[in-house]
Amino acid sequence: MSIQFKSLSVLAEEKGIPIKFGIATDNYKSDTKIGQILKYAFDYITPENKMKMNYLRTNIIPAGSTYSSSNTFNFTDIDNRCKYAKENLLNIRWHVAVYSANVPQFLKDMDTTGRLNLNVMSNFISNHITTIFNYVNSNYGNVITCMDVTNEVLDNENSSNIFYKYLGNSGSQLVNTVFQIASNNLPSSDKIKLYLNEYNIEDNLTKLDNLISIGPNSLVDGIGFQTHISVSKAINTSFLHNFERNLNHAKNSGYDIQLTELDMICDVGSTLTDKLNKQAQGYSNILKIALNQGVNLINIWGFKDDQSWKGATNYPLLFDSNYNPKPAYTALLNVLSNYNVSDYGSGKYYY
């Protein structure tokens, strides 16, 4: 495959801009075109689903048994992703260690049959994180450089959240417990950045403050802004002002910041060309703000439009269904080409 467009990764490096770009996808191996473009144009790969707990812990514990660390890991997906990343000089963003939407079935069964308690759950989480850290570190080195320790914890502070049920009676206690486990079990040769990942904090200052209030600064390295947005928001000056305000607030609160799941549905425009041009402006606006506020990674949630969870006809991503870079991709290149690197992380506002 002959690639005729510029690499985001290479251009940022050439300009001396300390930002990285990533793609969340599980299709890089089955689709070789994606694999080629990914290693050419980006710095990071994020397994969209395949490193979530219920994908890695698939084996069943027999009824009546207590939890055992043996025979409950499936390393196939980890091996596939880490091998690809290492061979192609990419890094991995691990999404996600603890998330109430991805609980292994055997853990649910243990809950309903009364075989879980604080000690068992704490040991389970510790074993889960430690085993993956050690396995990846010993086989692939420091290929994982950052991870979502928790995801969407603010909207899951209830008894239906199995982790909240056993590890804490508040979001703060749950986050403290899980981040302490992750921090205590980092490989000695590595420093993986630990992130709190959350949605709808892009312009909602109250929700962002709630997230910050439950995250211990000594353990949480960064805040992940999911950034599932629309073009109408990304070209709206009020939203953009609030977005840069929130990024600035998180940064000034002592956290690294990443845009972890960026996509942008086309909800305005009279023709497809008009929609894509407006989307290009939206992506351009987001990148300019991210650079000034010191975002260190922009991770796009999907590779091409027909693979997006938002639907192909919403055209949310940087590549069309035929693997071609869209105007949005070109807009990102233009921002990087014209950016004054001395403004990176300055906190200057555009809006």
**pLDDT digits over 332-343, tens only?**
999 999 999 999
Q: Is 193 exposed, middle or buried (0-12, 13-18, 19+ CB in 10 A)?
A: middle
When divided into structural domains, the chain yields a total of 1
**351 in a domain, yes or no?**
no
pLDDT at residue 71, as a whole number = 53
**262 in a domain, yes or no?**
yes
| Closest listed residue to residue 154, CA positions, set 94, 196, 216 | 196
Distance from CA of residue 56 to its chain's centroid? 17
**62 in a domain, yes or no?**
yes
Q: Kindly state the tokens that stand for 349.
A: 């506002």
Q: Give me the amino acid identity at 48.
A: E
pLDDT at residue 113, as a whole number = 87
pLDDT at residue 127, as a whole number = 87
pLDDT at residue 342, as a whole number = 97
What 3-state class would DSSP assign to 231? helix
**350 in a domain, yes or no?**
no
Measured CA angle at 303 (ends 298, 306), to 5 deg: 140
**1 in a domain, yes or no?**
no
Q: Kindly state the tokens that stand for 252.
A: 């000034």
pTM for the whole thing?
0.94
What is d(CA 255, CA 253) in angstroms, rounded to the nearest whole number?
Answer: 6
pLDDT in tens, the chain (351 residues): 678 899 999 999 999 999 999 999 998 878 999 999 999 999 999 999 999 998 888 765 555 555 555 557 888 889 999 999 999 999 999 999 999 888 888 888 888 888 888 888 888 898 899 889 989 999 999 999 999 999 998 876 556 788 888 887 667 888 888 999 898 888 765 679 999 999 999 999 999 999 999 887 789 999 999 999 999 999 999 999 999 999 999 999 999 999 999 999 999 999 999 999 999 999 999 999 999 999 999 999 999 999 999 999 999 999 999 999 999 999 999 999 999 999 999 999 999
**73 in a domain, yes or no?**
yes
**3 in a domain, yes or no?**
no
User: Domain residues for 48?
Assistant: 8-343
Which CATH number belongs to the domain containing residue 40 in this structure? 3.20.20.80
**349 in a domain, yes or no?**
no
